């Protein structure tokens, strides 16, 4: 089954328009969905649309409403909402270009593949892709989809172009409130060398297929055990690492153990204070 387009329209750069289709670049991962069950009967619990003082209502009696004051609503039909005219519903206007590293990672939300809608659009599409690559820039614009106007970025990716939705500034919490009390001091050189050695030791190419959702796998195993146990409670004993002290001695020992005794000593570890001379024996002093 062919993928369903997330958005269809045109990218516009000044007087150039490029018909495109945009598709999700990601999909939902493995997940387990639980139902609420009425324990005495073992039957699932259903939810009904209910109006206070009226009872259950039919779906075709439900419309959208916006509360303008306490208990007062403006009612809107789906057709009225859909008919709201905004240019970005069909046109992604590229209004600004920024450097590749100018946007903080906190603003990026979700990636999409942008493809030319037909053969006629391919030439302009390729020109835009290569122009962005040559300039080292990311294009910014806004498009309207599924009830909101989203800020998006476009950047080249192999033969194609990837669009990423961006968060607006009021959706990102400022880091100062979380990092304000963290000291800005430079750590001990020995500790830094050990940590760097550990990072180098564990550095490898990123292979996403090697990572799995271990919690989902554990839930599947629990469900299988529960089936065999015929309702008996199963509580697995999970050993958690004991909390360690926050002093330098504990941190140094933990880093050394992590790096391993077989590795070469960090450079700064060699810069130790000179060893003290052994005390002169009493017999030696008498002979002198």
> What residue has token string 């990672």?
105
pLDDT tens per residue across all 288 residues of the chain? 467 899 999 999 988 999 999 999 988 877 788 888 888 888 898 888 888 888 888 888 888 898 988 889 898 888 887 777 676 788 999 999 999 999 999 999 999 999 999 999 999 999 999 999 999 999 999 998 877 889 999 999 999 999 999 999 999 998 888 888 888 888 888 888 888 888 888 888 988 788 777 777 888 888 888 778 776 777 766 555 555 554 445 777 887 888 874 444 444 444 444 444 444 444 444 443
Q: What is the DSSP letter of 124?
A: H
- The pLDDT of residue 97: 97
- What is d(CA 265, CA 268) in angstroms, rounded to the nearest whole number? 8
- The pLDDT of residue 85: 66
Do the beta carbons of residue 143 and residue 92 sit within 8 Å?
A: yes
- The pLDDT of residue 153: 96
Nearest partner of 10 among 101, 169, 118, judged by Cα: 118
For each of the domains in the chain, give its residue range(s) and CATH number, in order of start: 7-30+84-171 (2.40.290.10), 189-238+245-265 (no CATH)
H helix or E strand, kind and range, residue 102: none
- What is d(CA 77, CA 11) in angstroms, rounded to the nearest whole number? 30
Q: What are the backbone angles phi and psi of residue 9, rounded to the nearest 5°?
A: 175, -145
- What is d(CA 249, CA 244) in angstroms, rounded to the nearest whole number? 11
- The pLDDT of residue 24: 93
Nearest partner of 165 among 22, 2, 27, 14, judged by Cα: 22
- The pLDDT of residue 148: 83
End-to-end CA distance of the chain: 98
- The pLDDT of residue 249: 55
């Amino acid at each position: 089954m062919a993928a369903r387009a997330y958005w269809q329209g045109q990218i516009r750069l000044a007087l150039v328009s490029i018909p495109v289709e945009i598709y999700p670049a990601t999909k939902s991962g493995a997940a387990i969905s639980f139902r609420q069950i009425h324990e005495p009967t073992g039957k699932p619990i259903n939810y009904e649309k209910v109006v206070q003082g009226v009872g259950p209502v039919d779906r075709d009696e439900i419309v959208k409403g916006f509360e303008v004051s306490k208990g007062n609503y403006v009612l809107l039909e789906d057709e009225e909402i859909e008919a709201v005219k905004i240019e970005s519903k069909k046109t992604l206007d590229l209004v600004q270009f920024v450097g590749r590293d100018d946007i903080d990672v906190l603003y990026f939300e979700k990636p999409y593949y942008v493809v030319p809608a037909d053969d006629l659009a391919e030439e302009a599409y390729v020109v835009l892709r290569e122009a962005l690559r040559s300039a080292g820039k990311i294009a910014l614009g806004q498009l309207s989809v599924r009830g909101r106007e989203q800020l998006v970025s476009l950047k080249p990716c192999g033969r194609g172009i990837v669009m990423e939705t961006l968060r607006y500034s009021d959706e990102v919490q400022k880091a100062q409130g979380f990092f304000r009390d963290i000291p800005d001091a430079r750590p001990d050189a020995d500790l830094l060398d050990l940590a760097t050695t550990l990072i180098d030791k564990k550095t490898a190419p990123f292979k996403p297929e090697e990572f799995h959702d271990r919690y989902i796998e554990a839930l599947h195993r629990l469900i299988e055990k529960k089936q065999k146990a015929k309702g008996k409670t199963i509580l697995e004993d999970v050993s958690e690492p004991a909390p360690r002290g926050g002093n330098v001695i504990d941190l140094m020992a933990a880093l050394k153990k992590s790096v391993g005794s077989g590795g070469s000593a960090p450079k700064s570890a060699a810069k130790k204070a000179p060893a003290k001379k052994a005390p002169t024996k009493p017999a030696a002093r008498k002979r002198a």
